[in-house]
Amino acid sequence: MIEAAGRFAPSPSGPLHIGSLLAATASYLDARSRGGRWRLRIDDLDSYRIVAGAEDSILEALENHELNWDGPVIRQSERLDHYQHALDALADMGQVFYCSCSRRDLRGTPIYPGCCRSQTKPVADAAIRLHVGEAEVAFTDLIAGKQSDRLAHSCGDFVIRRRDGLMAYQLATAVDDGDPTITHVVRGGDLLDNTARQIHLMSLLGLSVPVYAHVRTLLSEDGKKLSKQTHARALDNATAAANLVETLVFLGLTPPHDAARWSPSEVLEWAIGHFEVDTVPSGTVIYRRGPVF
Ligand SMILES: [Zn+2]
């Protein structure tokens, strides 16, 4: 039997904030409460979004919160051959085509209309899309429940290699999360929409599909997703235990009233003993700054 393993996969586009810590903590607790391993992967493919120093700051924040990962840090930028291999395999299956549409051509069409589907031979200056056909993906999310997605109606033929030559997020993530050593993917609820595309890719590539669980998305008071782009405040490592306690409350737990004064490892130890993924709330919630106690 394969040992359980989860992963946390931040992109180095800024420091961790409370929303990313929530995903990290949830994934860590899920893995540890199963007696499994917890891996750290840096999703650094999109060189345009990388911020100098962000990876170091993420590692430092995780260390300060005593969210200790197993094994070496994995970087997507060091795994390009795996993604190329997957892309070649999809091309061999006749599942891909070359899309010359500009962003402007596709403006106002959220679902790709299929105009380049006949371009099955390589052309210069084109994105590569996956022909989704009538694919329908059903899965049960441990937190969000039963999901079903007919890709042609939700996203259409999606990009797996960008026009600028970068491997697309969907393909790289499917290859990495489809590794048989990853059994559970616990991540932010904003990624639930992406899951069917990734499962579809994993199925085509003969990879192992992990179990998914999507935690709540934290919103700022104006209703936008808390993110680096909406200037979410960087975590203060000096209040690591209190930060962890905040995330536990969003995971539906009720830590003891003095837990914010414990060490981070004591908070995590308590939480491992109390975490139950099927009682974690789903959906979105407004994050109001300030201590919860
Ligand atoms: Zn096109």
If you measure from the C-alpha of residue 156 to the centroid of ligand 1, how many angstroms do you get, rounded to a whole number? Answer: 11
If you measure from the C-alpha of residue 116 to the centroid of ligand 1, how many angstroms do you get, rounded to a whole number? Answer: 4
If you measure from the C-alpha of residue 99 to the centroid of ligand 1, how many angstroms do you get, rounded to a whole number? Answer: 4
| Amino acid at the residue 291 | P
Kindly compute the dihedral angle of the four CA atoms of residues 185, 188, 191, 192, in this order, to the nearest 10 degrees: 70
Q: Which segments within 9-53 are labelled E, that is strand?
A: 37-42
If you measure from the C-alpha of residue 90 to the centroid of ligand 1, how many angstroms do you get, rounded to a whole number? Answer: 18
User: Looking at residue 130, what is its pLDDT?
Assistant: 98
278 vs 6: CA distance, rounded Å:
16
If you measure from the C-alpha of residue 105 to the centroid of ligand 1, how many angstroms do you get, rounded to a whole number? Answer: 8
If you measure from the C-alpha of residue 92 to the centroid of ligand 1, how many angstroms do you get, rounded to a whole number? Answer: 20
If you measure from the C-alpha of residue 53 to the centroid of ligand 1, how many angstroms do you get, rounded to a whole number? Answer: 36
Half-sphere exposure of residue 57, counting CA atoms within 13 Å on the CB side? 17
User: Looking at residue 83, what is its pLDDT?
Assistant: 98
If you measure from the C-alpha of residue 207 to the centroid of ligand 1, how many angstroms do you get, rounded to a whole number? Answer: 28
Set out the domains of the chain in order of their start, with CATH numbers: 5-76+214-286 (3.40.50.620)
User: Looking at residue 226, what is its pLDDT?
Assistant: 80
Output phi, psi for 129, to 5 deg. -115, 155
The neighbouring-strand residues paired with 6 are: 38
If you measure from the C-alpha of residue 50 to the centroid of ligand 1, how many angstroms do you get, rounded to a whole number? Answer: 28
Chunked into runs of 10 residues, the chain (293 residues) has average pLDDT values of 90 94 98 97 94 96 98 97 98 97 90 95 96 96 96 96 96 98 96 97 98 93 77 90 96 96 98 95 81 42
If you measure from the C-alpha of residue 147 to the centroid of ligand 1, how many angstroms do you get, rounded to a whole number? Answer: 28
User: Looking at residue 287, what is its pLDDT?
Assistant: 86
Half-sphere exposure of residue 218, counting CA atoms within 13 Å on the CB side? 23
Structural tokens at position 267: 């908070």
Output phi, psi for 167, to 5 deg. -65, 140
If you measure from the C-alpha of residue 183 to the centroid of ligand 1, how many angstroms do you get, rounded to a whole number? Answer: 35
Residue 228 sits at the vertex; the CA angle it makes with 252 and 103, to the nearest 5 degrees, is 115
User: Looking at residue 190, what is its pLDDT?
Assistant: 92
Question: Would you call 257 exposed, middle or buried from its count of C-beta atoms within 10 A (0-12, 13-18, 19+)?
Answer: exposed
191 vs 84: CA distance, rounded Å:
23
User: Looking at residue 290, what is its pLDDT?
Assistant: 54
Q: What does the radius of gyration of the chain's CA atoms come to, in whole angstroms?
A: 20
Half-sphere exposure of residue 112, counting CA atoms within 13 Å on the CB side? 25
User: Looking at residue 225, what is its pLDDT?
Assistant: 81
30 vs 7: CA distance, rounded Å:
10
> Which helix or strand (DSSP H or E) is residue 271 part of?
helix 264-274
If you measure from the C-alpha of residue 104 to the centroid of ligand 1, how many angstroms do you get, rounded to a whole number? Answer: 11
If you measure from the C-alpha of residue 100 to the centroid of ligand 1, how many angstroms do you get, rounded to a whole number? Answer: 5
If you measure from the C-alpha of residue 73 to the centroid of ligand 1, how many angstroms do you get, rounded to a whole number? Answer: 36
If you measure from the C-alpha of residue 209 to the centroid of ligand 1, how many angstroms do you get, rounded to a whole number? Answer: 29
Structural tokens at position 180: 């048989």
If you measure from the C-alpha of residue 151 to the centroid of ligand 1, how many angstroms do you get, rounded to a whole number? Answer: 17
If you measure from the C-alpha of residue 119 to the centroid of ligand 1, how many angstroms do you get, rounded to a whole number? Answer: 9
